[in-house]
Chain A
Amino acid sequence: MRPYAVTHGRARPVAGRFDLISLIKTTQQSHDQLHGLAPEHLSILTLCRRVMSVAEVSACLDLPLGTVRVLLGDLVVHRLIEVREPAPRPITHDNRTLEDVLNGLRAL
């Protein structure tokens, strides 16, 4: 089974929470930082040069969410990605974001 092989049997990430819409961005990295990473880690780093959600990473790499979270946790520890967690409370209290969403949808 690929997913467990990728994470060496780990079910939980060593760091981070990783909501479906937590946004991931690859940070600047030096070559030696990449030493010892699995190909899947490197795929994530390539993918997330453009900001991407956890769900999109999972879909694009065709890996289950749990596996992706474990890999992302490794990358956080190595400071190879930046993570933006979504607001913990609903944005219903955030009028500016609501208006922005509304205007954006109307402009579609």
Chain B
Amino acid sequence: MGSERSDDPGHRMPTAVKILVAGGFGVGKTTLVGSVSETRVLTTEEDLSERGIGVDDTSGVGGKSTTTVMMDFGRITISEDLTLYLFGTPGQNRFAFLWDELALGALGAVVLADTRRLADCFPSLDYFENRGTPFVVAVNCFDGARQYTIEQVRQALDLDPGTPVLLCDARDRGSSKRILIALVEHVRTLAAPTSAVVPAATAISA
């Protein structure tokens, strides 16, 4: 992809890819993004009033209440030609259009789960399953939370047997890095022509 269809002679522009980090509120999305990114976590903001109804009504903006969604993200420069961006998806699952925008062209997603509030990640699982976006589930092992086995989590989440489930500590750079690697390896497996018959050796601990 990329440099061959350049309409910008002179210098090449790098390729950008993105991975999404989803999961319930407070599950550690921003922590994960921050632990593995090369810079501090950046925040961007989408003004929903610009996207929805009432777009033309911009005269009296002073008194108009605006709804904004914040998105945290980080950057990993892979090489001069390739930059990876990690986006924490906003926890509010009512902003469907924003998720669609985020998921468009994404390499895949990490769904972070907290065993104390497992159901919080259901909307993310449903979304990526329906959309066909490859994902791995990473159980963020909070201090003091009861430990479950990967099999128990897999069963509780009713996951496809091929979906990798990992244990992680989102604060730890090495752990977060292993999750991302597991995701890209999973994507590669799915992309391989023989993916249907590859058994899932997925009980990895990150």
Residues of A within 8 A of B (CB): 1, 3-4, 9, 11, 19-23, 25, 51, 53, 55-56, 58-60, 64-67, 82, 84, 86-95, 97-102, 104-106, 108
Contact = CB atoms under 8 A, between A and B. Distances in A.
B61 A101 contact: no
A106 to B, nearest CB: 6
A68 B108 CA distance: 26
Interface of B: 1-2, 8, 11, 13-18, 36, 42-47, 50-51, 55, 58-59, 61-62, 64, 66, 68, 71, 73, 75-76, 78-79, 81-85, 87, 101-102, 104-108, 133-134, 173, 177, 180-181, 184-185, 187-188, 190-191
A88 B16 CA distance: 11
A22 B104 CA distance: 12
B105 A108 contact: no
B42 A56 contact: yes
B50 A23 contact: no
A87 B107 CA distance: 11
A11 B51 CA distance: 8
